[in-house]
Amino acid sequence: GPVKLRKLDLQYLSLPKHVCQISPGPNYDFFSPVMRFIISSPVMPDAVVDYDLATCRWNIIQQQNMLHDRTRILYGTNSASVSVESSNAKYSCPVNANLEDDHLWNDLSEFYACEQYFVPSFDGVPIPLTIVFARDNNPKDEKPGILLGHGAYGELLDKRWRSEFKSLLDRGWVIAYADVR
């Protein structure tokens, strides 16, 4: 039967570093102990994950492997067919992931940094500002940048990984997200 909210035990989910968005995925079985989520950040491609409430374990269902793509682009495609086959075999099965095994998440924070600041607006109210940049570039230096902002109707700014910005980041650009009101 239906569960009364007073009888539920709260669980706090441990998430990988730099997660900016978590959305519920399709959870078709009301009585299942497994919940599906989509998690993402500016330095991590979207991941479709299952969280087992009974065992408190993550199971990565699907996530784009940007590291494989980056390696193939930087170092050539002489062994691309072998790499693709081994990549498909490796990621076709779900991988159990605890946060102790943080390396199992396809996190690009080795190459890109994500920092959050509060910047005062013209009337002194602090505005959250998230900046993303390549780790080999100092964001304090003068760099070209793109500022994305949204602040209307209670909508949140989409701060997930966007592969179309990868080329800009690799060329020294800074991407900034302003959560204006």
State which of 79-88, 90-99, 168-177 shows the largest mean pLDDT: 168-177
Q: 29 and 52: one domain?
A: yes
d(CA 52, CA 73): 36
pLDDT over threshold 80, residue 85: no
d(CA 55, CA 107): 24
Q: 96 and 163: one domain?
A: no
pLDDT over threshold 90, residue 145: yes
Q: 9 and 60: one domain?
A: yes
d(CA 104, CA 111): 16
State what percent of residues in the chain have pLDDT above 70: 72
- Which whole number is the average pLDDT over 23-35? 86
pLDDT of residue 7: 62
What pTM did the predictor assign? 0.67
What is the domain range of residue 136? 112-178
Domain boundary among 80, 104, 128: 104
Domain boundary among 104, 134, 152: 104
Work out how many domains the chain is built from and give that number.
2
Q: 43 and 59: one domain?
A: yes
pLDDT over threshold 70, residue 27: yes
